[in-house]
A and B are shown apart, each in its own frame.
Chain A
């Protein structure tokens, strides 16, 4: 197995080593971690006091309260658990697009992002899981906080074939079935699917209590459409051919892109979904930071690539 340096750039790792991906939701976890658990137990964070009852462990007596009140009280702690971060990566054929003179295709960018995020999550002893999907889930790596999962993810991504179309609703539905415990779901896709399908898939995950982050990855040329000469464009997924005068078409195309983005932004805003739009030539560490910062900020930030 080749832990390819293209996926894990040491510089990125160095930049991100102090970051922690946190969830603002109550997640289910099996191991004591840093995320809030619905279960009370011994953990680091103090929750409340209760009166001592014979037989309780005297290690947890709050002697300061006794000094003040002459009564014995026990400290109760929130049971912090670890969480699972699901990385859902679109492996449809459209993700294979790489613009002229761009370093990475969309899928490669998503893969780099996913692997780097997996490393980060594993570093903070949280669990990571991954699934690739097209019209349905094509591959699945179950949650684990072991480093071996990282290697599996890398291996899976490196041998993934990009074929077919995208159907977010059916794919995310499948994932929702698999992801039994609430966690964070990062959906890395170019969103080249019907809006209803996207919305439907996200809805399914939300119902399961997951915190969903929609990460749209687009190539620079898809965003700016800065071609100068007339050309023929053949759809990657559909195979349809179009003769295009890009100079004439550019304005209308950009209007369509903006309208699509606005639609997604509006939906995400109204459904408590974090939406990010990345350009495939973006720095991975920056992208990671945006996602994490989006969590730390009290406001939703819809950062666009």
Chain B
């Protein structure tokens, strides 16, 4: 901390001037003095001679002593009152500058995270920060150099070359606007500390860094990492923080949206739970939560939010037509608008489309029966094919693809299936007697370009004498419905043979849903990109036979009463993976789809019609596309066109709402001086909290009063 130079008097401002009311306490010693004299008793005294002589001796000294003690006591109360009023000593940087003949670089670092869009009295925090930066630059000595940076998720150079030209600096600052990204202050500060301008001492004798922001959000929470970042900067420069936050602001935002399933069936009510969080504020606030579909309100609820609490609002939505629905959750406007909207896509289907690929005739019929006992009333459209004809199918036409004891698929088919999974769909694989271990591993294990692999080893077929099922405490979402129902028969599934599989247990993509008593996995779920692969290590029914003894089946699980509900739960998990493309603001975009027709144009278009060109690569009927990160939330449409066809995909872009938490960091915990009061930080002076010196003065005065009183004969 820079110490104020005593001979450079500038205004001593008081942050809490109302505390000066305690200065009235300066009257207390006088009142005590007057009260004491007024309540004197009168006594008749004989030794007046002695008294007169004594008073003659002391009359002058006594009066002086009394005055001295009275003045010191009044001073104690006055100084204490001033220290309670939080004095700050303002020194203009120009004054400080005159004390040294050094070259100084000023680094202005503006917080441009989305929380800076918070409006107070119709002025955003970012506008106030720009104003503060402008005044700060104006007040600097004319020959001091300035650079300007912005920070949100990363550090951005605005004016990276030091310049003393005020007009250039101010013009650049004027053109700035906040981003829709959250803040990552620690990494930005670390990046700044490593910036050549800050790191190098060759160019400038001193570097002053002025961080102007709202210091809101978890990113500013002081912890070991943030302290390290601050100390790293302060080793090389002077660090000052200027806050533009208004402590009375509050914010609500959509914290979470939950639905029974991202893929809905027509004419079937679906429940959407919207969790709304309120941060800050002093009183409960009622806000309106609305759901819009294609800009039309299809549901609204009013919710009362207590300060710093969250509430969940439920909606029941039903669609009569299939298709991709663009749904928006909208909250009533508050001080920060950007996080009041949440965009998501919902795929409404007439039925779920499920494809069964089987290499043995009717081997998947039990699966199909379990899935759709009454096909006409079922929510599933079921199609069957085998591995040879699989290539004719369009995976994108389906929601789930079952591979039931499939002997072999071409590498191209496997690639298509991987893409299908990685785009947010599910492939369910039942292993059986027809599985070729080496082929399976070769096809599935290794990643293929951007497509994830299924790194699982088939060790060999196991046929132990006795197999008991271990449901692993029913923790898997597939088995959770069977918890508390031990007589369901799940643990007695009649299984006699299975493929023993190995995989890296440290790989967090894998989850073992069900195992055998000997710990061999029976049901495994593996994340593949945005989708899933669910692997059953045994066959789907007794149709699979032992290779050595065709009379012996691998299992008879279709005979178990738990079989249909187990398959029903499995399909729920399988389709509960959103196929819709979702990205966050500033997240790089990309994806792939099948199209054998040569594409000629690809753009990404916002709802307001703003376009951005896409980059894509088309090879072997697979189109891999990418685009620059988008800066605004909302719905977008990917449009690819060829000579006579178009391919369109909807996108939902949302902000990463970690910055929606407007808890203000406690500046006292920081190692650097932080000024967190909005009014004061509107100025550009450099401030020092000096109340400590006043308290020290109170202590010194108390000591002096005690010593003098003792010396004067008070005899404490």
Q: Give the B-binding residues of A (Cβ under 8 A).
A: 93-97, 100, 106, 190, 192, 218-219, 222, 229-238, 240-245, 247-253, 255-257, 260
Picked from B42, B55, B57, the residue with its CB within 8 Å of the CB of A234 is: B42
- Give CA–CA (A240, B53) in the complex, Å: 14
What are the residues of chain B within 8 A of A95 when measuring CB–CB? 46
Tell whether, in the assembled complex, residue B44 and residue A192 are in contact, meaning their CB atoms are under 8 Å apart.
Answer: no
Which residues in B have their C-beta under 8 angstroms from that of A260? 50
In the assembled complex, the Cα of A256 lies from the Cα of B58 at a distance in Å of 11
Point out the residue from B36, B39, B42, B62 that lies within 8 Å of A249, measured CB to CB: B62
Q: Across the interface, do A245 and B43 meet the contact criterion of CB distance under 8 Å?
A: no
Instruction: Assess A232 versus B41: contact at CB under 8 Å? Given A244-B55, A248-B65, A252-B58.
Output: yes
CB pair A244 B36 closer than 8 Å: no
CB distance from B531 to the nearest CB of A (A): 90
User: Is B48's CB under 8 angstroms from A247's CB?
Assistant: no
Q: B361 an interface residue at 8 Å Cβ cutoff? A: no
Q: A232 contacts B40, CB within 8 Å?
A: yes
Stretch binding the partner chain, chosen from B12-20, B602-610, B707-715: B707-715
Asked if residues A244 and B713 are in contact (CB atoms below 8 Å), the reply is: no
Docked complex Cα distance between A93 and B712 (Å): 34
Closest Cβ of chain B to A229, distance in Å, is: 7
The complex places the Cα of A234 from the Cα of B48 at a distance, in Å, of 8
23 pairs, CB–CB < 8 Å, chain A vs chain B = A94-B47, A95-B46, A97-B46, A192-B47, A222-B47, A222-B50, A229-B36, A232-B43, A233-B44, A233-B51, A234-B43, A234-B45, A235-B45, A236-B44, A236-B45, A237-B48, A242-B48, A242-B55, A245-B62, A248-B66, A251-B713, A253-B50, A257-B50
CB neighbours of B44 from chain A (8 A): 97, 233-236
B37 on interface, CB distance cutoff 8 Å: yes
| Distance, CA A60 to CA B36, complexed state (A) | 81
Q: What CA separation (Å) do A106 and B47 show in the bound complex?
A: 12
B57–A252 CB distance below 8 A: yes
> Contacts A232-B42, A236-B45 hold; do A248 and B54 have CB atoms under 8 A apart?
no
The smallest C-beta distance from A198 to any residue of chain B, in angstroms, reads 12
Is the beta-carbon distance between B55 and A222 smaller than 8 angstroms? no
- State A247–B712 Cα separation when bound (angstroms): 9
Q: Which residues of chain B are near A236, meaning CB under 8 Å?
A: 44-46, 48
**Closest chain A CB from B65 CB (angstroms):** 7
Known: A248-B66, A248-B712, A255-B57. A242 touches B36 (CB 8 A): no
Interface status of B6 (Cβ within 8 A of chain A): no
How distant is A159 from chain B, measured CB to nearest CB, in Å? 21
Not counting A250-B715, A257-B47, a sample of 11 additional A-B residue pairs whose C-beta atoms are within 8 angstroms of each other reads A97-B45, A192-B49, A229-B40, A235-B46, A235-B48, A241-B42, A242-B48, A244-B51, A244-B55, A245-B66, A253-B54
- A242 and B43 CA atoms in complex are apart in Å by 10
Q: Tell me whether B713 and A237 are in contact (CB under 8 A).
A: no
Q: Mark out the residues of chain B between 29 and 88 whose CB falls within 8 Å of any chain A CB in the assembled complex.
A: 36-37, 39-55, 57-58, 62, 65-66
Which residues of A are found within 8 Å of B51, using beta-carbon distances?
233, 242, 244, 249, 253
B46 contact set on A, CB distance < 8 A: 93-97, 106, 190, 192, 219, 222, 235-237
A-B pairs with lowest CB-CB distance, top 4: A97-B46, A235-B48, A94-B46, A233-B45
* Shortest distance from the beta carbon of B712 to any chain A beta carbon, whole Å: 7
CB nearest to B709 among chain A residues: A247
A233-B43 contact given A222-B50, A247-B714, A256-B53, CB 8 Å threshold = yes
- Min distance, Cβ B354 to any Cβ of chain A, angstroms: 100
Kindly provide the distance from the CB of A94 to the nearest chain B CB, expressed in whole angstroms: 4
Q: Known A192-B49, A222-B47; judge A243-B40 contact (CB<8 A).
A: yes
Q: Which residues of A contact B47 (CB under 8 A)?
A: 94, 97, 190, 192, 218, 222, 257
Most chain-A CB neighbours within 10 Å: which of B50, B58, B66?
Answer: B50
Q: Indicate whether A248 sits within 8 Å of B713 (C-beta atoms), given known contacts A231-B40, A255-B54.
A: yes
Is B54 a contact of A252 with CB atoms below 8 Å? yes
B50's partner among A93, A106, A256 (CB-CB below 8 A) is A256
| Chain B residues whose CB sits within 8 angstroms of the CB of A257 once the complex forms | 47, 50
> A230-B37, A238-B48, A253-B50 are contacts. A248–B58 as well, Cβ < 8 Å?
yes
Nearest B residue to A248 by beta-carbon distance? B62
Separation of A248 and B36 alpha carbons in the complex (Å): 14
Establish whether residues B40 and A249, one from each chain, have CB atoms under 8 Å apart when the complex forms.
no
Q: Which A residues are in CB contact (< 8 Å) with B43?
A: 100, 231-234
Residue of B with least CB distance to A241: B42
